[in-house]
Amino acid sequence: MTHSLLSPLDMHLHLRDEAMLKVVAPLSAHSFSAGLVMPNVVPPITTIEALLAYKKRIVEASGNDVFEPLMTLFFRSDYTRSFLEEASLHVKALKLYPSGITTNSEGGVASMDIEVLRPVLEAMSDLGLILCVHGETNGFVMDREKEFGSIYESFASSFPRLKIVMEHITTKESVALLDKYDNLYATITLHHLLITLDDVAGGMLKPHLFCKPIAKREEDRQALLHVSLNAHPKVMFGSDSAPHPISKKECCGCAAGVFTAPIALQALTELFDKHHALASLQAFVSDNAQKIYNYKPPFKEVILEKVPSLVPNAYGDVVPMFANESLAWSLKNVL
């Protein structure tokens, strides 16, 4: 049995930089047609010069595979309209991080005051730039995304022409917001479709499943599954694949992030097949994102087959999800 996917897209991807970039970029470039690249490298991508230089490094690291890095800027409240006009020639979105909320986000937004952010958000609305948001407060870890819901609502109602992507949603409350506001969209990760907090910390702690936002409850996972398996037009796949070296994961002070890029399509195909929903997978991994971002990706056909595949122990110094485990589907060919 085989299943083909046309121009699969990863709409939330961490490629890091330098040596790590050279390890992980080819793994995404092999099976994805394009990816929305997050800007929270060190230092964060806040200038057009830095953005273009980073894009060049990604292209070089990707090798000969057909893969387009879709670039983003690290959101700052002091960007001018003229700067954003120039940036709109090179980026499709800006990524807003609350300050200190996740990896390399210390320079993020300190206040979610609408009036402070208004000049930038109004300019983005006028220019057709998309606002991508890591939506968490600094509250109790299990409540952070739910608490951020009121901020999403404030953004959506105050700037109705601004497309807002709730990144890597994990709660049933975030799912409910999709049908409440026309301009709210979401990415959903592979790992949040598969695990709950119990899988991370219910028995022996599994550091390679620790991520931010943290995995939630089973009812939250079921809400994510429902909209994904039914090809809800406002959700799209974003892996949030976040590589860290083993020394940063298997230690005290474990870094947050699950590395899924090289096994994402195989695992998603297995999941959708298990739920008799393979017909919805193309929309989830490509078609919805093309419509939301008004984007036509390079052509790539990924052919998967229902033949077991063993996930490697590591890619370089990065441990993937399902390391040393067998997946029911494998990559057969990429055209």
Across the strands, what pairs with 10?
35
Q: Which of 10, 220, 240, 287 is catalytic?
A: 240
C-alpha–C-alpha distance, residues 79 and 101, integer Å: 21
How many other C-beta atoms can be found within 10 angstroms of the C-beta atom of residue 38? Answer: 28
The residues near 155 (Cβ < 8 Å, ≥ 6 apart) are 114, 121, 131, 133, 162, 164
Residue 140 gets which letter from DSSP?
Answer: -
Q: Coil, helix or strand for 202?
A: coil
- φ and ψ of 250, to 5 deg: -95, 70
Annotation marks residue 240 as catalytic: yes
Cβ burial, residue 2 (10 Å; 0-12/13-18/19+): exposed
Residue the block writes with tokens 């800007």: 39
Cα torsion 29, 190, 264, 9: sign:
negative
d(CA 273, CA 269): 6
How far apart (Å, rounded) are the C-alpha atoms in residues 11 and 60? 20
DSSP code per residue over 87-107: HTTT-SEEEE-BTTSSTT-TT
The answer to whether the CB of 249 falls within 8 A of the CB of 318 is no
> Which residues are within 8 A (CB) of 48 and not within 5 positions of it... i.e. 6 or more apart?
83, 86, 87, 90
Cβ neighbours around 98 below 10 Å, total: 21
Q: How far apart are CA 90 and CA 95, in angstroms?
A: 14
SS (H, E, C) 37-58: ECCCCCCCCCCHHHHHHHHHHH
Q: List active site positions.
A: 240
